[in-house]
Amino acid sequence: MSRRRQIYEGKAKILFEGPEPGTLVQYFKDDATAFNNLKKGTIVGKGVLNNRISEHIMTMLGDLSIPTHFIKRLNMREQLIKQVEIIPLEVIVRNVAAGSFSKRMGVEEGTPLPRSIVEFCYKNDELGDPIVGEDVITAMGWINPRELDEVMGMTLRINDVLCGLFAGIGIKLVDFKLEFGRYYTSEDDLQVILADEISPDNCRLWDSKTNEKLDKDRFRRDLGGVAEAYQEIARRLGIFIDPQQVEAQ
């Protein structure tokens, strides 16, 4: 780790300069935060699990021709990614009412939505990531209409793929958050690609039969068994991680 120059330290990950120009190394920490950093903690082994889960999902999306930043996993906690200019939006997809949506709209958690809803939040911790409309995001120049079309198309495809993936392993994909970025290809073209991570840190995943929560809400709501829930997701996805190795890393 210390060999490389650190570019950014976030709440859950650290970005290092990659071996080639235009690449970064994404290091997954065990740190967990919630409620815009008010609640902090550690989930032992989370970084190892999220590295593997995000690798699994991004690889699957790549195989389905959805462009992502993922290049390859380097070790237990690190993956090589394409460096992008992050579009400062959190793209949230909701299939079932939960969390802030339930609060804001007065809809009971667990109510299936008549159709999937896509929301945008402006990525700005000081402002508490406020929800914003399409009009605002294009007017403010955070994304242009062509990019927004691409993001919407990719987001809906990703939702379809992930709903199917999780349904197949007995899990309801309640909601999730995506980040996209602008990638400058070697031909100097600009491409919008999926960035960041897809893991139980930014998805709500409920057991289909029991509705048991298998995601970061266990941490947010002090339900216990947080690491076990992440392990269960990895296990059902067919990812094998030697528990001894997880603890040692």
Ligand X SMILES: Nc1ncnc2c1ncn2[C@@H]1O[C@H](COP(=O)(O)OP(=O)(O)OP(=O)(O)O)[C@@H](O)[C@H]1O
4-63: contacts with ligand X (CB under 6 A): 8, 10-13, 15, 24
69 contacts ligand X (rule: CB under 6 A): yes
Stretch that binds ligand X, among 76-84, 105-113, 152-160, 232-240 (CB under 6 A): 76-84
> Per-residue contact track with ligand X, 146 to 165, x per CB under 6 A?
--------------------
Nearer to ligand X, 52 or 69 (CB): 69
Least gap, CB of 136 to ligand X (angstroms): 19
Say which residue the tokens 């298998």 belong to. Answer: 214
Stretch that binds ligand X, among 82-90, 108-116, 130-138, 236-244 (CB under 6 A): 82-90
Distance CA 18, CA 26 (A): 9
- 191 to 15, 66, 70, 85, 144: CA distances (angstroms): 21, 12, 14, 11, 13
CA-nearest of 162, 242, 198 to 26 is: 198
CA-nearest of 29, 22, 56 to 161 is: 56
Stretch that binds ligand X, among 41-49, 80-88, 139-147, 149-157 (CB under 6 A): 80-88
Nearer to ligand X, 87 or 241 (CB): 87
Distance CA 20, CA 57 (A): 24
203 contacts ligand X (rule: CB under 6 A): no
Least gap, CB of 154 to ligand X (angstroms): 15
Distance CA 24, CA 213 (A): 32
* Binding-site member from 50, 51, 54, 83 for ligand X (CB under 6 A): 83
Q: Is 224 left (phi over 0), alpha (psi -120 to 50) or beta?
A: left
* Binding-site member from 41, 75, 112, 125 for ligand X (CB under 6 A): 125
Least gap, CB of 229 to ligand X (angstroms): 19
Q: If you count DSSP H runs as helices and E runs as strands, how many of each does the chain have, helices first?
A: 7, 14
Count of residues of this chain found to bind ligand X when the rule CB under 6 A is applied? 19
Distance CA 183, CA 82 (A): 8
Nearer to ligand X, 36 or 111 (CB): 36
134 contacts ligand X (rule: CB under 6 A): no
Instruction: Give me the residues that bind ligand X (CB under 6 A), please.
Output: 8, 10-13, 15, 24, 69, 81-84, 86, 123, 125, 179, 181, 195-196
